[in-house]
Structure 1
Amino acid sequence: MDIKDWTPKRWLRGVLPAALILIWLVVAGLGGPTFGKISGVSSNDAASFLPASAESTLAREWHQKFLDSHSIPAIVLLVSDRPIDGAGMGAYAALAGILGTVPGVEQPAAIAGPIPSEDRRAVEFIVPIADTGNVKGVVAGLREAVNANLPEGTTAYVTGPAGLTADLVNAFGGIDGILLLVALIAVFVILLVVYRSVVLPVLVLLTSVFALCASILLIYALASMDWIKLSGQSQGILSILVIGAATDYSLLLVARYREALHAVDSKWAAMGRALRGAWEPIVASGATVIIALLCLLASDLNSNRSLGPIAAIGIAFSLLSALTFLPALLVLCGRGAFWPFRPNVEQPHRHAVATGENFPAGLAGISGLWRRVGLLVASRPRTTWIATLVLLLAASSGVLQLQANGVSQTQIILAPSNAVDGQKALGEHFDAGSGSPVVVIAREGRADDVVSAVAAQPGVSDVVLYSGAGRPVPGAPAVVKDGRVLINATLVDQADSAAAEQVVRDLRGTLPAVDADVLVGGVTAIALDTNETAQRDLWKIVPLVLVVILLVLMALLRSIVAPLLLIGSVVLSYAAAMGVSALVFNHVFHFPGADATVPLFGFVFLVALGVDYNIFLMTRVREESARIGTRPGVLRGLGVTGSVITSAGVVLAATFAALGVIPLLFLAQLAFIVAFGVLLDTVLVRSLLVPALAYDLGRVIWWPSRLGRAPVVSTGSTTGVSTGSTTGVGRG
């Protein structure tokens, strides 16, 4: 008996799967309860994700020295449907004391307001929130207090940095439950349709969920110890990535297992064959994604840098679960896992083509769609890959319309938001930058000159030296810390708008001539530095990821030509996906733009995951090529992997599409890019472009390995090739 058909002793057959399942049950039992707690160690503070060397980070450190607390300002805006006279202003003044009683708000003396607008139709209060760990709860308290004491004919908003942060946290609120539920339901339905089995989808989903539980357990521990920074964004991506990747790896193993069950009677022997055939592509695929994700450690943005190890941990547990937990479940269930369509042992050549039929070598036993695709590739390989290439290049042209320069915080939230509405109303009655001033740190001796220079800058409506009392007071002595003063500049435009960012650029360009040590920070500067750092990261990390993946493919396929073709195909697929996405974002969804990190995240996920499917395909092609020759091996590999890779692509696309249920612009765009890109890669690149190119080039794709130099002599019987084939089995 071949070693791959080895069956363990009876006692080991019971103990081994039981032990593996027990270990995973313990891990899941510990990790499951952390789902509800992980948001407690998650932060969505944009400032904490900037590198320490960023100017806005340095300005923030100096800013904190001037403040008695690390409070976040909320702006309570009241808009009246008629002009507010002196008597009416008294009613608004009483509201300041009420706001000061809300838990989490600093003492009433720190509240600025009521401040009337020039048109006398609105008043604002600047309310510092001291409990920065519970901004969502404090803002909810402010909204409740305002609505309970609202003068007649008045509309209330709680906006500003605190209000927007609270609504952002609310938008992330569905990540723990809704997102996971939608993803799991989508995967279950797809697996049900693909396998027409009730048991198998449950086993695959258990594999994915247990991998996620283990990932969450470790990440929660690391975040609790402050070793990694977890955000709602990375939390949502983690869940989707683990569910999708674990399901993909599971599908490949299940396909090999079912194939082996058709050849041998013993379920243990079948699992041995399945693991021998699946472990290399699964490990290679997982390692490729992990390494690509760890390339994010080279990012200057802390948010990107933290996502790398978080997502890599998820992939590692997906890999481990698919190669240990799922095999244990499958051997316990045996053929019953596929009920009601149990795979039975079949005679060799059951699907062989009738003698005398004009049929390409390698397609024997292949039927249905993948037989037709194989016939197309074999009959017109060059036409196929050129037509596919032209189509992808045409789709790539749309990337020129991608507007990934960042968007304002009010445009990030897609769901109804009191803070977003309030920010718009604020701009109608006050300077839109109220409550979020540009922070300028200057030397004490140059303070007056810097104030004059800032005031002369177009786009700045008001400039005040910080004088304490929790807020700037005109005419009061400036507070001095270590020879520095704090200057607050209110902008005409909304603090996170493109116009406001341009004012910050202009100030950074002109103020050093007045004070060489000046620093310009604040909310606007943080947004600007984040966008610019993200754009630099794209050009630094993309080449790094490509080189790393290329080296992995060379080691796996023992070739130079094939990895170069695969890398080129996934880059082209990425460009096409981004091009189509840009057109959809601009002309269908009418999005205002895209976050600056969208191209980078889209690249990392699409390239790493796109290479996954090519690894699944080309490892099987290489295996078959070693037996029957390259061109027949291409057709055979395409035929036997076609359905499983397509199913995996549909599953991954569905799981990433589930990100769209979270009403945030970044996640909605990432969901579309990855879902569409994966389908594009699965349907066109892996099914037509790569096989047609490989078939057209022949055995040269394996250069410089021995497989690329010498033709293979087929044993014939192992593949059931028709004797009437016009394409010789041993053809290169």
Structure 2
Amino acid sequence: MGSNTAGTSDIAGAKDTAAAEATAKSSTGPRRWVVAWGVLALWVIVLAVAGAFAGRLGDVQRDQTADYLPAGADSTQVAALQEKLPGGEITALVLVYHRDGGLTAADRATAARQLSAITVAPGVQAAKSPAELGDAKDPKEFAAVQHGPAVTSKDGATLAYTLTTAAPAKNDDARKAFVDDVRQRATDTDGMSVRVGGDGALDVDARGVFGSLDTTLMLATGLVVALLLILTYRSPVLWLVPLLAVGAGAVCARAAVYGLATVFDTTVTSQSAGIMTVLVFGAGTDYALLLVARYRDELRRTPLPYDAMRAALRGCGPALFASSGTVVAGLLCLLAADLNNIRGLGPVGAVGVVCALAAMLTLLPALLVLLGRRVFWPLIPEYGSEPAARRRNLFAAMGSSTAKRPTTVLLTGVVLLGALALGAFNLPGALKQEDSFTSKPESTLAMGTLSTAFPDRGSRPLQVMTPTGRADRTLADARLVDGVAGAERGRSGGGWTEIAVTATAAPESAAESATIGRLRQRLTGAHVGGASAQALDLADTNAHDRLTVIPLVLISVLLVLALLLRSLIAPLLLVAAVAAVWGAALGIGGLVFGPVLGFHGLDPGLPLLTFVFLVALGVDYGIFLMHRTREEALRGAGPQEAALTALRTTGGVIASAGTVLAATFAVLASLPLVMFVELGTVIAVGVLLDTFLVRTYLVTGANLLLGRAVWWPGRLSRAPRTAEAPPALVSAAP
């Protein structure tokens, strides 16, 4: 009898739902569906145009030495002047012959034969000088190869030769062809190992990684996002819709960045393009999760998908705009940096976030509306149905535990973050060029052999550019500088002359850095560059950029939060929380990078980049939580009720969004470059700490302790309660 009654009730409910939907459809007409189709058609046109330019982004990416250096540094001036010399930048290699126990006479004869065979690439007639090379376009054209004298280690086990040549200016294919040719000719023989090292070989190996960066990141990030969306939605269809929208945003972002580089000459490197891809997928998927979650709840309250989507956009739109605004504001602060690649990352990343937001607020809603409720199958949100409460119960339990002892929870969390931050004192020193790979290519093996065999001798020259009229004087002065083993005159052109200086100290050591300082002080009117000088300038400039950019990021994020939350205390609370997360994430890096992963250095730009991303992205989740807390307070809830309701209703979607964002940045850790592993690890760990510790316990605990004071000086800090929320302030997430 009871089941018959229930069945009758279900049938009646279904009839009521059908009647409500029919009434809604008759009252709305076809105009609303035309809007969705119009948005979709517009995106098809946009993608057709953008696709033609997106594929050309690689053509404008600049990975020359100067593009990764400080704009005003001495070493940058050297790199820029070298590009203007006949033949462009010199490619310098070191051939390292080694046999345990000592080289034999036969080994030396073999080395001499191999060296004499290295002139230019096979089948190419060499120019007699760099000047004759001119503006050659053939990637296999070179100037004649210059051979340096043989240098033997004290134990007689290692023999080294230096090779230099000039290739067409800015022709990476030419440089790679030369290095490949040398490696083919210099081969192991009867137990004697031969390795090709030097700055030219290190550069070619690094570019080999960057060359496949875009494709690798796009595929890996897409797969990670797809898997997480499937697990989140538990639907065979729904996960495809956000993924398609994010992919469309990525195409538009690549096309827009191509326009930036072409029209405004913005520096776009492989590094910034790769990070932009991760940003688009990570931030875009986060926005999609929040919008879809709200849309799903609105479908239970609204008969038609179009009206449900309109309510969802009204509800979470302000929070999404504020969220993306903090990221864009933080990224644009990078324009104040002196490093060329970091400064270029600002507008490149900002364009990516804007394109992701545009796709999530237009294309994704149009697709969802046109597909209707059944896109959620098998968990279709029927009109009038109630949502499952499993995840909400979890976050309700977390909130209840925090409410019992808010002071204890807050202090425990702060102490934990502080303890983790102490690990930052264990971070390794500056990353050397030969330590920049996670797996050792041939060039790094060669440099390792050199450093062991010649611990008291520089294995790569310092490059000095001096006005040609002062070349003789500069050459003489350089030879008199303490720590200089020798100096030789190089090419001349455009009023400048190149001088190669060999230091007595090992590369990138404190002693060599001191020699560079003495050279810069002694050589009036000259510029001192080269790989070691570049590393020194990078360290100095990164320290300067941190002091400049970090305050700008803090100020810009605080302003956005103050405008959204109508408070000064709440923004300060959120920014302090993400700053603590940044310190803890760096501390975890200090405990992992050296002791566990065996990294010998830290990328000098890591502290600044991780701060910008963790503050700008981490504040997003604070926005969703505090925005909902403010809404509950405006509706009349007390401080404790508002804080716990906000945690209960936004906890699930924030957890999903944080997991997706952390996973997308973790993709960077799969790349074979130490700087990407370090960057991806710190950001992924920081996002997870922010999502599951700071938002859940610390911010909620602080809300409970501060009460209405968290909204000072806004009216919520004074008024006991209001009747209802204004229309513009509704929940950021279900």
Alpha carbons 1:559, 1:703 under 8 Å: kept: yes
SS at match of 2:438: coil
2-structure distance, mates of 1:346, 1:499: 75
Q: Match of 2:668, as an amino acid?
A: L
- 1:60, CA displacement in angstroms? 4.2
Q: Which residue of 2 aligns with 1:519?
A: 527
- 1:492, CA displacement in angstroms? 3.6
Q: Which residue of 2 aligns with 1:97?
A: 119
Alpha carbons 1:96, 1:113 under 8 Å: kept: no
Alpha carbons 1:70, 1:132 under 8 Å: kept: yes
SS at match of 1:126: strand
2-structure distance, mates of 1:616, 1:416: 44
Q: Does the alignment pair 1:122 with 2:159?
A: yes
Once the two structures are superposed, residues 70-112 of structure 1 have per-residue CA deviations (whole angstroms, 9 ceiling, x without a partner) of 1331315152543346855652353133547566466563432
Task: Tell me whether 278-287 or 137-146 shows the greater mean CA deviation.
Answer: 137-146
Q: Which residue of 2 aligns with 1:671?
A: 680
Task: Tell me whether 615-624 or 290-299 shows the greater mean CA deviation.
Answer: 615-624
- 1:124, CA displacement in angstroms? 2.3
SS at match of 1:213: helix
Q: Match of 2:503, as an amino acid?
A: L
SS at match of 1:385: helix
Q: Which residue of 2 aligns with 1:58?
A: 77
Q: 1:36 to 1:279 in 2, by over 3 A?
A: same
Q: For 2:647, which of 638, 647, 651 is the aligned residue?
A: 638
Q: Does the alignment pair 1:131 with 2:158?
A: no
- 1:133, CA displacement in angstroms? 3.8
Once the two structures are superposed, residues 657-707 of structure 1 have per-residue CA deviations (whole angstroms, 9 ceiling, x without a partner) of 001121111110000000000000000111111111112211121122222
2-structure distance, mates of 1:619, 1:528: 45
Q: Which residue of 2 aligns with 1:420?
A: 444
Give the gaps of 5 or more residues in structure 2. Answer: 1-19, 125-137, 726-734
How do 1:179-218 and structure 2 match up within 5 A?
Answer: 179-218=217-256
Q: Which residue of 2 aligns with 1:163?
A: 201
Q: Match of 1:640, as an amino acid?
A: T
SS at match of 1:73: strand
Q: Does the alignment pair 1:109 with 2:118?
A: no
Q: 1:422 to 1:377 in 2, by over 3 A?
A: same
Alpha carbons 1:657, 1:675 under 8 Å: kept: yes
Task: Tell me whether 621-630 or 144-153 shows the greater mean CA deviation.
Answer: 144-153
Aligned length: 681
Q: For 1:376, which of 401, 418, 437 is the aligned residue?
A: 401
Q: For 1:274, which of 306, 309, 312 is the aligned residue?
A: 312
Q: Which residue of 2 aligns with 1:27?
A: 46
- 1:527, CA displacement in angstroms? 2.0
2-structure distance, mates of 1:603, 1:14: 44
- 1:8, CA displacement in angstroms? 8.5
Alpha carbons 1:113, 1:126 under 8 Å: kept: yes
Q: 1:387 to 1:23 in 2, by over 3 A?
A: same
Q: Which residue of 2 aligns with 1:410?
A: 434
Q: Which residue of 2 aligns with 1:311?
A: 349
Q: Does the alignment pair 1:75 with 2:93?
A: yes
1-structure distance, mates of 2:306, 2:470: 82
SS at match of 2:430: coil
Q: For 1:44, which of 63, 68, 88 is the aligned residue?
A: 63
Q: Match of 1:391, as an amino acid?
A: L
RMSD of Structure 2 on Structure 1 (CA)? 3.0
- 1:261, CA displacement in angstroms? 1.5
Q: Which residue of 1 aligns with 2:714?
A: 705
Task: Tell me whether 201-210 or 367-376 shows the greater mean CA deviation.
Answer: 367-376
SS at match of 2:222: helix
SS at match of 1:200: coil
SS at match of 2:359: helix
SS at match of 1:590: coil
SS at match of 2:235: coil
- 1:54, CA displacement in angstroms? 1.8
Q: Does the alignment pair 1:563 with 2:588?
A: no
SS at match of 2:47: helix
Q: Match of 1:10, as an amino acid?
A: G
SS at match of 1:199: coil
- 1:646, CA displacement in angstroms? 0.5
Q: Which residue of 2 aligns with 1:292?
A: 330
Q: Match of 2:598, as an amino acid?
A: H
Alpha carbons 2:430, 2:603 under 8 Å: kept: yes
Alpha carbons 1:44, 1:232 under 8 Å: kept: yes
Q: Match of 1:414, as an amino acid?
A: T
2-structure distance, mates of 1:678, 1:493: 42
Q: Match of 2:643, as an amino acid?
A: V
Task: Tell me whether 445-454 or 77-86 shows the greater mean CA deviation.
Answer: 445-454
How do 1:493-508 and structure 2 match up within 5 A?
Answer: 493-497=505-509, 499-508=511-520
Once the two structures are superposed, residues 133-185 of structure 1 have per-residue CA deviations (whole angstroms, 9 ceiling, x without a partner) of 44356434543464257474354433322211111111123322222212121
2-structure distance, mates of 1:217, 1:52: 26
1-structure distance, mates of 2:550, 2:176: 40
- 1:585, CA displacement in angstroms? 1.4
Q: Which residue of 1 aligns with 2:618?
A: 610
Task: Tell me whether 221-230 or 407-416 shows the greater mean CA deviation.
Answer: 221-230
State the identity %: 36
SS at match of 1:586: coil
Q: 1:413 to 1:43 in 2, by over 3 A?
A: farther
Alpha carbons 1:74, 1:158 under 8 Å: kept: no
- 1:564, CA displacement in angstroms? 1.2
Alpha carbons 2:462, 2:529 under 8 Å: kept: no
- 1:654, CA displacement in angstroms? 0.3
Alpha carbons 1:248, 1:651 under 8 Å: kept: yes
- 1:631, CA displacement in angstroms? 2.2
Q: Does the alignment pair 1:653 with 2:671?
A: no
Alpha carbons 2:72, 2:338 under 8 Å: kept: no
Q: Match of 1:23, as an amino acid?
A: L
Q: 1:620 to 1:122 in 2, by over 3 A?
A: same
Once the two structures are superposed, residues 504-550 of structure 1 have per-residue CA deviations (whole angstroms, 9 ceiling, x without a partner) of 134334x1xxx543432222222211221011101111111101111
Q: Match of 1:68, as an amino acid?
A: P
Task: Tell me whether 522-531 or 645-654 shows the greater mean CA deviation.
Answer: 522-531
1-structure distance, mates of 2:498, 2:674: 34
Alpha carbons 1:101, 1:108 under 8 Å: kept: no
Q: Which residue of 1 aligns with 2:702?
A: 693
Task: Tell me whether 114-123 or 48-57 shows the greater mean CA deviation.
Answer: 114-123
Alpha carbons 2:88, 2:170 under 8 Å: kept: no
Q: Match of 1:385, as an amino acid?
A: L
2-structure distance, mates of 1:309, 1:341: 40
- 1:435, CA displacement in angstroms? 4.8
Alpha carbons 1:172, 1:662 under 8 Å: kept: no
Q: For 2:501, which of 489, 498, 506 is the aligned residue?
A: 489
1-structure distance, mates of 2:150, 2:674: 33
2-structure distance, mates of 1:143, 1:446: 34
Q: 1:686 to 1:107 in 2, by over 3 A?
A: closer
- 1:343, CA displacement in angstroms? 1.1
2-structure distance, mates of 1:608, 1:657: 17
Q: 1:138 to 1:107 in 2, by over 3 A?
A: closer
Alpha carbons 2:179, 2:204 under 8 Å: kept: no
Alpha carbons 1:17, 1:331 under 8 Å: kept: yes
2-structure distance, mates of 1:558, 1:344: 37
Q: Which residue of 2 aligns with 1:343?
A: 381
Q: Match of 2:307, as an amino acid?
A: A
Q: 1:683 to 1:366 in 2, by over 3 A?
A: closer
Alpha carbons 1:143, 1:157 under 8 Å: kept: no
Q: 1:268 to 1:166 in 2, by over 3 A?
A: same
Q: Match of 2:513, as an amino acid?
A: E
